[in-house]
Amino acid sequence: MLTLPPNQVHGRRPIYISTFLIFVLANIGLSFTTSYPVLLVLRVFQAVGACSAIAIGAGTIADVTEPNERGSYMGYYALAQYTGLAIGPVIGGALSRRWDYHATFFFLTALSGPFLIFMVLCLVETLRSIVGNGSALVRGIYRPLLQPRPVSSVANSPRPPMKHPLSTPQQFGFLQPFLVFTRPETSLAIIAYSIVYASYYLSSASLPYLFKKVYGLDELWIGVSFVPSGVGCVVGTVLAGKILDWDYRRAVAKGATPVRMTRVRLQSAWIYLPCYSVSLLAYGWSVGEKLHIALPVVFQFAVGFFSIMYFTNINTLIVDLYPGKAASATAAVNLGRCVLGAGAVAVVQPMIAAVGAGWTFTVGAVLTLFIGLVCQALIYLYGEIWAAAGERTQ
């Protein structure tokens, strides 16, 4: 939330580099600290350095894509986020088992340090208010040390200078992400996204507890148990993006002008949400009834697969509704999903202890399906009207 106003005024590249530097420095500190209070503080800085890229990444995609191709790129964007779900727990579990928790942060330092150097060398500025369509001659912090070769149409024509970040009126304020909630269509989309995210965290947050208690797994095998969900996310991100682009092309082919984004982007979500809820329900009862471990592992794959396809659809819809302020819109999504996700993590173990895993996930699946379908129906029926009214007021 703190990095969004600067990135929408001063550009993407400076914020990417500065926040990633915080991430690297936090990892270095975490690699050596033995103090629990210091560890907590550094973990906060680590999160600040890492999570800003999620919101800024959506803004970058909005900078460089058109609606007819945005679905695929949003899928790749989600792929980068959720690949960690497939490999992170395995690596972390193996490192902790062989050494201790410090090894995880040494590994992150070794991984993130070279990537920071790569960003300084190669990352280009994309904010339209500064570089236009990308042909502007950049300078200072906005100029990568290794500049990409421009295409011939740009190289053979005069290139305008970059615009100064403060040369045009900008809305610079930390309230921008919160203003996204004032529009009903985006508020409903965020609620639908967040409720699925919260129920997804019911399964992921409780997995170590349940798999250790029910199946007696150690740290390494618990980490391996996250792989099916992560693989489902990886497969789902790519597939969902392709389907989104196909839905858009089909709407254009039918002569729908202008394309109703609130309907096109939700077209496949009507399938994903029920499939996700059924998968979550089946996972809860399979592990609650202590069935063979293969069953909850398979349902974990399905939960990851359908959840990420749903996330990709809703994320793309929100970026389409806020093409010039996609970073603020994505920050609002992050706020909503993190609040509900934190609540889910807080209640899942007490609920399992009180009523069992089966009924815990029954409640999560039913609430997710009901709230999600209500939000989708309202967006489908009234989203275009609300979006047009919101654009007029802005």
Task: Tell me the domain boundaries of the chain.
Answer: 6-144, 176-393
Q: What does each C-alpha distance from 84 to 32, 81, 91, 92, 377 come to in angstroms? A: 23, 6, 10, 11, 33
Confidence at residue 273, expressed as pLDDT on a 0 to 100 scale: 96
Instruction: Tell me the percentage of the chain whose pLDDT exceeds 70.
Output: 85
Task: Tell me which of 132 and 110 has the higher pLDDT.
Answer: 110
Q: What is the pTM of this model?
A: 0.78
What is d(CA 293, CA 287) in angstroms, rounded to the nearest whole number? 8
Just give the CATH number of 176-393: 1.20.1250.20
Task: Tell me which of 110 and 7 has the higher pLDDT.
Answer: 110
6-144 CATH choice from 1.20.1250.20, 1.10.10.60, 3.40.50.720, 3.30.70.1520: 1.20.1250.20
- The reply to whether 176-393 shares the fold of 6-144 is yes
Confidence at residue 145, expressed as pLDDT on a 0 to 100 scale: 83
Lowest mean pLDDT among 9-13, 219-223, 292-296, 366-370: 9-13
Confidence at residue 156, expressed as pLDDT on a 0 to 100 scale: 46
Question: Residues for the chain: how many in total?
Answer: 394
Highest mean pLDDT among 1-5, 51-55, 330-334: 330-334
Question: In terms of Cα–Cα distance, which of 198, 233, 182 is closest to 337?
Answer: 198
pLDDT at 155 over 50: no
**Residue 307 has which token pair?**
């959840």
Q: What is the arithmetic mean of pLDDT over 374-379?
A: 94
Spacing of C-alpha 205 from chain mean position: 17
**Residue 85 has which token pair?**
């779900």
DSSP string, 92-130: HHHHHHHS-HHHHHHHHHHHHHHHHHHHHHHPPP--HHH
What is d(CA 217, CA 107) in angstroms, rounded to the nearest whole number? 24
**Residue 5 has which token pair?**
């106003």
Q: What is the arithmetic mean of pLDDT over 271-280?
A: 96
Do 261 and 247 contact (CB within 8 A), yes or no?
A: no
Q: What is the arithmetic mean of pLDDT over 164-172?
A: 50
Lowest mean pLDDT among 12-16, 67-71, 176-180, 277-281: 176-180
pLDDT band, very low/low/confident/very high, at 269 (cuts 50, 70, 90)? very high
